[in-house]
Amino acid sequence: MQERPALPLFMGIVNTTTDSFSDGGRYLDPARAVAHGLKLVAEGADILDIGGESTRPGAKDVPLTEELARVLPVIEGLRKATAARLSIDTRKPEVARAAVAAGASIWNDVSALQFSSESLAVAAALDCDIVLMHAQGTPQTMQKNPHYDDVVAEVAAFLDARIAAAVAAGVERSRLLVDPGIGFGKTLEHNLAIIRGLGTIVDRGAPVLFGASRKSFIGKLDPGGAPAAKRLGGSIAAALEGWRRGAAILRVHDVGATRQALAVAAAFR
Ligand code: HH2
C-alpha cells in the first residue's frame, strides 16, 4: 500500500469564556471544560488550546485575576487527566507564566508578544513553544475597517518581524510557530487571499498554525449565512485547504469530524 501523507496535528479548542463567538458560556464551569477537553482528546486532539479571554471582534477585556481563575483550574484538571499537550491562549504574560507552571507547554499569543512590554522577556524565560499570530488592530477595533495593500505580503512581513523580535529577546527560533490570524482584522477577501497564499506564510520557516474553524467568513460564504454553530462543513473545507497548503497544526472546535475528513482525503492522494 502506498504511504499516505502524514496528517497535521489537531489543536482542540477549549474556551472558558462567557462570550466566545461559537461556544461562549458553555464551558465556564471548570469540570465541564475539562470534560470537553477530554472528549476532544478522545476524538484525536494532539493539543488542547485553553483560553479565558474571547478575542472575537468587539469582545470585552478580561481582568487578569478573572482570566487566571478561569483557565488555571482547567489546565490543572487536564494536566492530571491527559498526556495531550496543553496550550494557553492568552495575550497576558502573567497568565502564560502561571499556565506553564500548571503544565501548559505552548503559549498561543494572538498579539504576537506585543500586548505587554513584559511579553518578550517572559517568552524568553519560559520553557514552552510560542505561537506568534498576526492581527490588524485589537479585538475591540479589528473588524471596523481592515485595510491592506497586499495582505499576504504584509502578514508575512509582520510575522518575519515578530520572529526577529522574539529571537532578539532570547526565544529559541525552534520554539516559534506562526499563524496568519484568519478573521483578525480581515475581510472575507483578505481571509481568502491568505488561505490561497498560505504557501508564503509556510515559507517563513516556522510551523504554521491555522485557525479557520467556525469563523465568520464561512458564514459569509454559506448560501444561507450559517451561524457559528452550523459551520462544520465549511470549517472542514477550510481545514482541508489549510492542510493542503502546508499548515502543521489545525486549530479546530470539531476534532473528530475534521480528523476523519483529513484521513479520508489523505487516502486519495
Ligand atoms: N482564533 C481565535 C482565538 N485564538 N489563536 C490562534 N493562534 N489562531 C486563531 O485563529 C485563533 C486563536 C478565535 O476563535 P475562538 O477561540 O473560537 O473564539 P474566541 O476568540 O471568541 O474565544
Q: Is 39 a catalytic residue?
A: no
Q: How many residues does the chain have?
A: 269
Ligand 1 center to residue 6 CA distance, Å?
25
Q: Is the CB of 40 under 6 A from ligand 1?
A: no
Ligand 1 center to residue 54 CA distance, Å?
8
Ligand 1 center to residue 172 CA distance, Å?
24
The active-site residue, picked from 162, 215, 231, 259, is: 215
Which residue do the cell numbers 468587539 mark? 58
pLDDT per position as a tens digit, 110-149: 999 999 999 999 999 999 999 999 999 887 787 888 999 9
Q: Is 26 a catalytic residue?
A: no
Task: Provide the 8-state DSSP code for 4.
Answer: P
pLDDT per position as a tens digit, 168-198: 999 999 999 999 999 999 999 999 999 999 9
Cβ atoms 247, 210 nearer than 8 A: yes
Q: Is the CB of 182 under 6 A from ligand 1?
A: yes
Q: Is the pLDDT of residue 222 over 60?
A: yes
Residue 76: count of CB within 10 angstroms of its CB: 16
Given the CA of residue 19, which atom of ligand 1 is nearest to it?
Answer: 21
Q: What pTM did the predictor assign?
A: 0.96
CA distance 258 to 249: 12
Given the CA of residue 20, which atom of ligand 1 is nearest to it?
Answer: 21
pLDDT number for residue 1: 56
Alpha helix positions (H), 9-150: 30-42, 64-81, 93-101, 119-125
Amino acid at 125: A
Please compute, for residue 104, the number of CA atoms within 13 A of its CA located in the half-sphere on the CB side: 25
What are 81's strand-pairing partners?
none
